[in-house]
Amino acid sequence: MKLSKLHKEGYRIVFWSFIMVLIINMLVDIYVPYKWLQYLILFSSVILFLLIVYFFRYPSRKAEVLPTEVLAPVDGRVVVIEEVFEPEFFKDKRLQISIFMSPFNVHSTRYPVDGKIIYSRYYKGKHIVAYHPKSSELNERTTVVIDNPLIGPVMYRQIAGIIARRIVNYAKVGMWVKKGEDAGFIKFGSRVDVFLPLNTDVYVVIGDRTRGGETVIANVLIDK
């Protein structure tokens, strides 16, 4: 089994978590007289530290895909596949595919397609549960649009959930990006929506599990 490296967004948190575990257990060793309680605190703090490290893992991913195929931007479970009206950028109908992440999923975001970033915006918002239909409009979120030379513009939206308190977005307008590359991180949350042209073959169904940067979720058809 190949080990995952640590995502850069976790460096500082993991470092300070390690320092805190050391300090807590040094103080416990000095001031707590009961060995059983010392061992319990040591065990609990180490487990918590390992969970933090696990949350910030960043596995290496590589997929052989066609130029018109779209990769899943995150690990998680497909919860929405539907035709919707997208009012923020396209202002027309699009095919929406939404992937919900549990706290145990890899939480890095990856670019779903190649192309040039033509739109990137952050919105403050609420923190209702990410699987709620209104979370895409009401929650803290970022919206990014990538203009692909073959299939046109594709949008993805990072959405914070009830636990998430920070969205990291690396996409800047004018950047050229490759599908599967690191696009950001949602710290302790929760959902990503992808908006595709209507002339798209969807390769997943609701309930399917995806792996960001590896699972092909759709193929956009090109009119000849």
Last residue of a domain, one of 13, 30, 58: 58
Global pTM value: 0.85
Domain annotation covers residue 181: yes
Q: What is the pLDDT of residues 24-51, one digit of tens each?
A: 999 999 999 899 999 999 999 999 999 8
Residue with tokens 């979120």: 141
Residues 76 and 48 in one domain: no
pLDDT tops 90 at residue 164:
no
Domain annotation covers residue 63: no
Average pLDDT of the chain to the nearest whole number? 89
Q: Which of 104, 98, 73, 99 is nearest to 177 (CA)?
A: 73
Residues 42 and 94 in one domain: no
Q: Which of 68, 60, 105 is nearest to 213 (CA)?
A: 60
Domain annotation covers residue 144: yes
In this prediction, residue 161 carries a pLDDT of 67
Distance CA 186, CA 106 (A): 10
Domain annotation covers residue 143: yes
Q: Which residues are catalytic?
A: 190
In this prediction, residue 81 carries a pLDDT of 96
Domain annotation covers residue 74: yes
pLDDT tops 60 at residue 135:
no
Burial of 188 (0-12, 13-18, 19+ CB in 10 A): middle
Residues 99 and 167 in one domain: yes
More confident residue, 116 or 159: 116
Question: How many domains are contained in the chain?
Answer: 2
Residues 133 and 203 in one domain: yes
Domain limits for position 211? 69-220
Domain annotation covers residue 32: yes
Domain annotation covers residue 118: yes
In this prediction, residue 3 carries a pLDDT of 58
Distance CA 118, CA 156 (A): 12
In this prediction, residue 1 carries a pLDDT of 43
Residues 190 and 89 in one domain: yes
Distance CA 161, CA 139 (A): 7
Residues 83 and 46 in one domain: no
Q: For the domain that residue 188 is a member of, what is the CATH number?
A: 2.70.70
Residues 29 and 112 in one domain: no
Residues 99 and 49 in one domain: no
Residues 121 and 162 in one domain: yes
Domain annotation covers residue 213: yes
Which are the contacts of 47, defined by CB distance < 8 A and separation ≥ 6? none
Residues 35 and 99 in one domain: no
Residues 75 and 32 in one domain: no
Residues 147 and 197 in one domain: yes
pLDDT tops 80 at residue 4:
no
pLDDT tops 70 at residue 137:
no
